[in-house]
Amino acid sequence: MWVENYRPTNPNMIIGNEETRLNFITWLKKWQKKSKASLILGPPGVGKTTLVHAVAKDLGYEVLELNASDVRTKTKLEKRLGPSRINSTLFEKKILIFLDEVDGIYGREDKGGIEFLLDLIKSSRNPIVMVANVEENKKMIKLIKSTQVFRFQRIPPKLLEMVVKNILRREDRTINQVKLEMIVRDANGDVRAAVNSAQVASSGNEDLISELRDTQISPIESLKIFFDSSTPEGAYLALSKCKMQPRDKVRAIFQSILSAKLDGKKMIEIMEELSKADELVAKIGKTQNWTLLRYFDRILANSLFPALKDTQVRYREQSLPWNLQLRIWNDRVPLRKISSSLAIQYHLSSKDATLFYLPYIVLLSKLKNYEKRIIDRLRLDESSVKFLQKEAKKVSQEIRKN
Amino acid sequence: MKIIVGEWFRIPQVERDIFRSLVREARLQYDKTRGYLASSETDLGLMTTILGNALKENVVVMLKCFICGTAIECEECKYKDVCRSSQIFQSCICKNCDTKEEVANIYSMRFTELIG
């Protein structure tokens, strides 16, 4: 296999992610006891594992490798990695602990696997490198927080073409330019996929290429590409390459639209278009006519694309818009201060004070002579007074509008 | 307006909300003295839309050639339809370098130089 024969053995032979590669090499060069462990995140086929092996070899490390999707329980991990806590060398060679596919460690059956890893990170006398494909898993956050993260991206098509051409030249094989470009496009930034397809194509086996071409992408990646697409066809391809349930696609798009900064009219327009796809899902569920599902991605892409054009809608996991989040963050301190002061004065719970009394206090503060009385009575500090005035101003503007 | 990924650039002063969106949402780096920087972390698609709307002009994003450092206009690339704009690549290779016979070796050598 060409992928094995041409697997880079030196960090400078890998392509793409130049800045991240350099940062990783520097991290390992400077590693000392008590330094953070590292976590390399990125899609498949971009050279994460290859980089770890190449850099380790270059810097004279013996790699102690474990595939975390095979060894997932605490007991098994302890058995395999426990000794590395005590020993820092192996036959007088430095040891690098390499845990591949750590995103596969999560799940109910894993029985403390993550806790063991976090503990190992703290106590290890050797550098630890972990590799994962996804960071969407909420449990990965624990690992992300306690490690130095290196994010890999897909490889630019131009670099993929360069690699494929180089291998073809060395193998003394040829592919016509159209086919080569097709392979590069379909590889979707995956070197392994591009090299495999090139090998098949150069051997003349066309059927296998179309099989290899049928790549799948993750839900988040699909939605990110969907919102970035410059053509309806691109938006459709992004949706169709992801095996997400149609209802989940609608839900994720709905949430992203909701958290985008849009004016009311535009929001209604987009939501109306989204509802067409939602109606189709409901109809399919009701009639059990599953054959209609084949039109779902097309309808979703074609109806939403014109409405989404020139908007700032992007995939968002959080349901609250940023400006609202910021307001909650900024206002929570004065709000809590006023509410607790109100609660003490009137023998209420803070919750009741905020929900039922505060709106009246805000209204009252706009009346003549009341503001000073409220400030004195509740002994409000400067930030709380500012908050009260700001809220009162908003309320009176709202009243005037209506 | 042309923006080169990895190079600092300046724009006229924008409203607070727009600034916040650029820095927090599009993840542009900001430095008072140097201006803005689009890095590998930046959501270039979002940045382009925000800046385009705010400045009322066309925003063109360019990558640097990893080999020679020239700014590359993605608009001219044959692969522009499959390149992702939300998470841009850290660099690419220009037309000129791409045509060199030993381009793969030159690319490797350039990386070796950077390692030092």
**Inter-chain CB pairs, A–B, below 8 Å:** 103
Is residue A84 helix, strand or coil? Answer: helix
* Calpha distance A324→A15 (Å, rounded): 41
Contact across the interface for B53 and A312, Cβ inside 8 Å: yes
User: What's the confidence (pLDDT) of residue B59?
Assistant: 87
**Hey, are the CB atoms on B40 and A19 less than 8 Å from each other?**
yes
Which of chain B's residues have a Cβ under 8 Å away from the Cβ of A21? 111
Contact map slice: A 52-81 vs B, CB within 8 A: none
What ipTM was estimated for this complex? Answer: 0.83
Query: Minimal Cα–Cα distance from B111 to chain A, Å?
Result: 6
Of residues A20, A18, A19, A7, the one with CA closest to residue A57: A7
- Residue in B closest to A233 by C-alpha: B81
Please indicate whether, in this complex, the C-beta atoms of B87 and A224 are within 8 angstroms of each other. yes
Is residue A15 within 8 angstroms of chain B, CB to CB?
A: yes
- Inspect the interface and report whether the beta carbons of A17 and B21 lie closer than 8 Å: no
Provide, as residue numbers in chain B, all residues whose Cβ is less than 8 Å from the Cβ of A185: 79, 82
The pLDDT assigned to A92 comes to: 62
- The pLDDT score that the predictor gives to residue B11 is 92
Provide the chain A residues 235-294 that lie in CB contact (below 8 A) with chain B.
261
Give me the residue from A13, A158, A181 closest to B98, CB to CB. Answer: A158
Could you tell me if A84 lies within 8 Å of chain B, comparing CB atoms? no
Are A155 and B89 in contact (CB < 8 Å)? yes
B-interface mutation test, from A10, A15, A158, A159, most B Cβ less than 10 A away: A158
What pLDDT does A138 receive?
Answer: 64
Judged by average pLDDT, the poorest of A215-219, A307-311, A337-341, B56-60 is A215-219
Residue in B53, B81, B90 nearest the CB of A17: B90
The shortest C-alpha distance from B70 to chain A (Å) reads 15
A227 CB neighbours in chain B (<8 A) are 45, 86
pLDDT at A27 over 90: yes
How far apart, in whole angstroms, are the C-alpha atoms of residue A28 and residue A59? 8
Are A67 and A103 spatial neighbours (Cβ–Cβ below 8 Å)? no
Give the separation between CA A382 and CA A363, rounded to whole angstroms: 19
pLDDT digits (tens, 9 = 90+) for A118-166: 888 887 788 999 998 876 666 677 788 888 889 888 888 999 999 999 9
Tens of pLDDT, residue by residue over A76-130, are: 666 666 666 556 555 566 888 888 888 766 544 455 677 777 888 887 788 999 9
CA distances (Å), B53 to each of A362, A384, B32, in order?
36, 36, 22
Q: What is the pLDDT of residue A283?
A: 84
Residues of A in contact with B73 (CB under 8 A): none
Task: Point out the residue among A18, A185, A224 whose CB comes nearest to the CB of B79.
Answer: A185
Task: Give strand ranges (E) for A280-360.
Answer: none
pLDDT over 70 (residue B88)? no
Look at B86 and A227 and tell me if their CB atoms are within 8 Å.
yes
Mean pLDDT within A235-243: 81
| pLDDT at residue A161 in the model | 92
Q: Would you say A294 and A234 are in contact if contact means Cβ atoms under 8 Å apart?
A: no
CB contact under 8 A, B89 and A154: yes
Question: Is B21–A188 a contact, with Cβ atoms under 8 angstroms apart?
Answer: no
pLDDT level of residue A209 (50, 70, 90 thresholds): low
Residue A112: per-residue pLDDT: 67
Task: Kindly determine whether residue B90 and residue A153, on different chains, have CB atoms separated by under 8 Å.
Answer: yes
What is the pLDDT at residue A80? 66
CA torsion angle A159 A163 A169 A174 (round to 10)? -80
For residue A266, give both structure tokens.
């535009």
CA distances from A240 to A222, A235, A256 (A): 8, 9, 19
pLDDT of residue A67: 73
Q: Which of A157, A159, A314 sits opposite B46 (nearest CB)?
A: A314
Find the mean pLDDT for residues A313-341: 76
Question: Which pLDDT does position B78 carry in this prediction?
Answer: 86
Tens digit of pLDDT for each residue in A261-314?
A: 788 888 899 999 898 888 888 888 777 777 778 788 888 888 888 888 878 787
Q: What is the mean pLDDT of chain B?
A: 86
Q: Is the pTM for the entire model greater than 0.80?
A: no
B93: left (phi over 0), alpha (psi -120 to 50) or beta: beta
Radius of gyration in angstroms for the set of CA atoms belonging to chain B, rounded to a whole number: 16
Give DSSP secondary structure letters for A191-213: HHHHHHHHHHHHTT-HHHHHHHH
Interface of B with A (CB under 8 A): 17, 20-21, 24-25, 40-41, 43, 45-46, 49-50, 53, 66, 77-79, 81-87, 89-93, 98, 103-104, 107-109, 111-112, 114-115
What kind and span of H or E run contains B4?
A: strand B2-4
For chain B, say whether A207 makes contact (Cβ under 8 Å). no
Selecting from B40, B46, B53 the residue whose C-beta is nearest the C-beta of A153 gives B40
Cβ–Cβ below 8 Å for B24 and A322: yes
Judge contact between B85 and B46, C-beta under 8 A: no
- Nearest to A282, CA basis, from A298, A301, A296: A296
Cα Rg, chain A, nearest whole Å: 28
Long-range contacts of A169-175 (CB under 8 A, 24+ apart): A170/A6, A171/A2, A171/A202, A173/A202, A174/A202, A175/A201, A175/A202
Q: How many Å lie between the alpha carbon of B8 and the closest alpha carbon of chain A? A: 17
Q: What is the mean pLDDT of chain A?
A: 81
Spatial CB neighbours of A109, under 8 Å, sequence gap ≥ 6: A72, A73
Buried b (16+ CB within 10 A) or exposed e, B21-54: bbeebbbbeeeeeeebbbebebbbbbbbbbbeeb
Distance CA A170, CA A187 (A): 21
In this structure, the strands spanning B8-9 and B35-37 are antiparallel
